[in-house]
């Protein structure tokens, strides 16, 4: 019985999440604000992580290619190609997923503890629709 109760609550949450928004213009404006806050403000940490990943990759590549006939420019070319093509998108995605996920979880947890979500429900506002639109 407990499984069916929680599954029913989940279906009701999905229904509330995908209902038609009351004020579409406000939602669109808010989505762009959140994209700015989540995406653009994360560029600093991406730059820091990328510098360190590039430095470690350079050191490892130079250590592995110890030969007198391999010049430093070849090592630089290998590192830049491998970092830009393969490693940077993966590392950037992982860092962004961790940072954005923790930011969203922290904000929603703070809203739950300070009873802001309960206040929205008391006012009759579709809290699930607002919160999921806010962070999508």
pLDDT of residue 73: 81
Average pLDDT of the residues of the chain = 80
pTM of the shown model: 0.61
Do residues 17 and 120 touch, judged by C-beta distance below 8 A? no
User: pLDDT digit string (tens) for 42-81?
Assistant: 888 888 988 888 888 888 888 888 777 777 788 888 888 8
Do residues 96 and 46 touch, judged by C-beta distance below 8 A? yes
pLDDT of residue 130: 66
- How far is residue 88's CA from residue 40's CA, in Å, rounded to a whole number? 17
- How far is residue 127's CA from residue 42's CA, in Å, rounded to a whole number? 27
User: pLDDT digit string (tens) for 10-51?
Assistant: 898 888 777 776 777 777 887 788 888 888 888 888 889 888
pLDDT of residue 136: 41
């Amino acid at each position: 019985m407990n499984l069916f109760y929680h599954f029913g609550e989940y279906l009701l949450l999905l229904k509330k999440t995908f209902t038609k928004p009351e004020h579409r213009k406000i939602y669109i404006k808010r989505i762009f604000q959140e994209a700015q806050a989540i995406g653009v403000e994360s560029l600093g940490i991406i730059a820091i992580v990328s510098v360190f990943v590039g430095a470690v990759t350079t050191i490892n590549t130079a250590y592995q290619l110890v030969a007198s006939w391999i010049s430093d420019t070849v090592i630089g070319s290998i590192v830049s190609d491998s970092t830009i093509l393969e490693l940077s998108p993966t590392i950037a995605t992982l860092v962004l997923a961790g940072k954005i996920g923790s930011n969203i979880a922290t904000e929603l947890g703070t809203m739950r503890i300070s009873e802001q979500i309960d206040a929205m429900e008391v006012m009759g506002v579709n809290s699930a629709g607002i919160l999921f639109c806010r962070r999508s």
